[in-house]
Structure 1
Amino acid sequence: MALRFLVVEGNTRGAREAHRAAYGQMLSESYAHVIHDIERDAVCDIAFPTDEGANLPDRAGLESYDGIVLTGSHLNIYDRTPEVLRQIDLMRAVYASGTPSFGSCWGLQVAAVAADGDVQKNPLGREVGFARRLRRTEEGQGHPMLEGRPEVYDAPAIHLDMVTALPEDATVVATNPVSAVQAAEIRRDGGVFWGVQYHPEFSLSELAAILRQRTELMVREGFCRTPEEVIAYADELTVLATDPTRFDLAWRHGVDAEVLDSARRTREIRNFIEYRVKTEKSGRGRA
């Protein structure tokens, strides 16, 4: 029987449409595409909790899924707007459902706050392009979320906020000099969440599209001196996405197979499906 996933889009309608215009897909659609690449027969539904009146699944509906995935978002969770609060409430229901869950960036932040952790702006500033020198913590040694990852690795990333206070039952499995919590397992109300602050689901072409959308921000925050530099950087990432054998560009941007090889880049999502979704499905007697 095919695995059933719920992909929870973190963006508001305007941001979803902007991402689709820039990349051709919403964040949730591209995330579903990654899941389909890993598990060809998977069925992916998409939820939009930022939309007022959205038809969101109740606990029984959440229990009917084999896995739930939370995307990134342009929102800041400490703003506590209705669009944010609906997502926190949904994540609390996800925990209570016991359905295995996974999230990237915003997804990790929502899961942390829903379990009484905290998220604030990173005093070191934005981590953009790639999260560098990610490394396993002592607790992360042997953790199945990071199976197949080397001791130190890089991954696509773009975020300003970070988890600043961990929930009571949480384990940090990866960290780096920019954000102490780069990958974590959180347990709450019988549910288990795996999440990362970076974006294993991002191809280099999707990352490039996001950077082009943020050209003004990239210049304002000093990552590039001119808009032309931002576009040139994004264009090189796009070329590298279509031709990962371009050693010159890989060297210039300091990336290796952990980023260039799609199977290795998406390792955490693959491990989530293998070790949480399939295992839990079997345990529930649904295999």
Structure 2
Amino acid sequence: MPLRLLVVEGNVRAAREAHASSYGLTPAESYASVLHGIEPAVVCDIALPADEGANLPDPSGLEGYDGVVLTGSALHIYEDQPAVRRQVELMRAVYASGTPAFGSCWGIQVGAVAAGGDVRRNPRGREIGFAREIVPSEAGRAHPLLAGRPRAYTAPAIHLDTVLTAPPGATVLASNAMSDVQAAEIGHEGGLFWGVQYHPEFDLAEVAAILGRMPEVLVGEGFCPSLEAVFEHVADLRALHADPGRTDLAWRFGLDAQVLDPALRLTEIRNFLEHRVKPHRSARGRE
């Protein structure tokens, strides 16, 4: 029997259409494709809570899923608007349902705020392209979410906001110089959420597509000296995606197998399926 997962798209229509125009898939469609790649016997439904009038499941409806996965988003959770409030309320329903949940970037921010944490613009600045030197905490080194990760690693990452205060019931599993909460487990109202601030689901082509849509930001914030430099950077990322054996490009970007090998890059998502989703389904089958 296939796993049944709900992929919660974090973006409003315009943002997901922009992503699809540069990458070919919306963030939720891309995430669903990643999940299929890890576990072919999976059925993914997509929820669009940022859309007004979206048909969203309540706790009893969520109980019919083996797991819930939250994508990233261009929204800011501290901005009080309906597209944000609907997602926080949906996450509270996920906690109440007891359904295993996992989220990347915006996903961990929603999971934190729904449980009483605080997310703000990162006072240390934007983390863009890759999160460097992510170090598991003592709890993280023993936690199944990070099983297989080394003592320090790099992962794709694109975010301006960060979890400043973890909610009650949270365990911080990893940090780096840019974000104190790079990975966490959050327990709330009988539910359990695993999340990461980075994007293990992003391949280099998806990172390149996002960076290619924000050249003015990269120049304006000093990441690149010119628009031409941005376009060269994006082209090199795409070239490395096409040929991960390009030692020259891997060296230039400072990337190793933790990013270049999909089996390693997807560690947290695979661990979520193996250690949370499948056991939860088995337990439900015995009820």
Residues 1:2 and 2:2 are matched in the alignment: yes
- Equivalent position amino acid for 2:162 in 1: M
Q: Which moved more, 1:21-30 or 1:56-65?
A: 56-65
Q: How does 1:214-225 map to 2 (within 5 A)?
A: 214-225=214-225
Alignment match, 1:150: 150
Alignment match, 1:98: 98
Alignment match, 2:197: 197
Q: Give, in whole Å, the separation in 1 of the partners of 2:229 and 2:120.
A: 29
Partner SS for 2:201 = coil
How many Å apart are 1:102 and its aligned residue? 0.2
Alignment match, 2:172: 172
Alignment match, 2:264: 264
Unaligned runs of 5+ in 2: none
Q: How does 1:30-45 map to 2 (within 5 A)?
A: 30-45=30-45
- Equivalent position amino acid for 2:151 in 1: E
How many Å apart are 1:186 and its aligned residue? 0.1
| Contact kept in structure 1, 2:141 and 2:147, CA below 8 Å | no
Q: Give, in whole Å, the separation in 2 of the partners of 1:235 and 1:266.
A: 23
Alignment match, 1:278: 278
Partner SS for 2:145 = helix
Alignment match, 1:85: 85
Partner SS for 1:53 = coil
How many Å apart are 1:274 and its aligned residue? 0.2
Alignment match, 1:237: 237
Q: Give, in whole Å, the separation in 1 of the partners of 2:215 and 2:46.
A: 29
- 1:42-66 per-residue CA deviation (whole Å, 9 max, x = no partner) reads 0000000010000111112100000
- 1:204-256 per-residue CA deviation (whole Å, 9 max, x = no partner) reads 00000000001111111110011111111111111111110000000000000
How many Å apart are 1:79 and its aligned residue? 0.3
Partner SS for 2:285 = coil
Identity among equivalent positions (%) equals 62
> Scaled by the length of structure 1, what TM-score is found?
0.99
Q: Give, in whole Å, the separation in 2 of the partners of 1:142 and 1:111.
A: 22
Q: Figure out how many residues of one structure are paired with residues of the other and give that number.
A: 287
Q: Give, in whole Å, the separation in 2 of the partners of 1:128 and 1:141.
A: 25
- Equivalent position amino acid for 2:17 in 1: E
- Equivalent position amino acid for 1:86 in 2: R
Partner SS for 1:102 = strand
How many Å apart are 1:286 and its aligned residue? 6.4
Q: Give, in whole Å, the separation in 1 of the partners of 2:151 and 2:48.
A: 36
Residues 1:26 and 2:26 are matched in the alignment: yes
- Equivalent position amino acid for 2:159 in 1: H
- Equivalent position amino acid for 2:102 in 1: F
Q: How does 1:55-134 map to 2 (within 5 A)?
A: 55-134=55-134
Partner SS for 1:285 = helix
> Scaled by the length of structure 2, what TM-score is found?
0.99
Q: Give, in whole Å, the separation in 2 of the partners of 1:53 and 1:90.
A: 13
Q: Give, in whole Å, the separation in 2 of the partners of 1:189 and 1:262.
A: 34
How many Å apart are 1:30 and its aligned residue? 0.3
How many Å apart are 1:113 and its aligned residue? 0.2
Q: Give, in whole Å, the separation in 2 of the partners of 1:93 and 1:83.
A: 16
- 1:100-156 per-residue CA deviation (whole Å, 9 max, x = no partner) reads 000000000000000010001111110001000001101112100000111100000
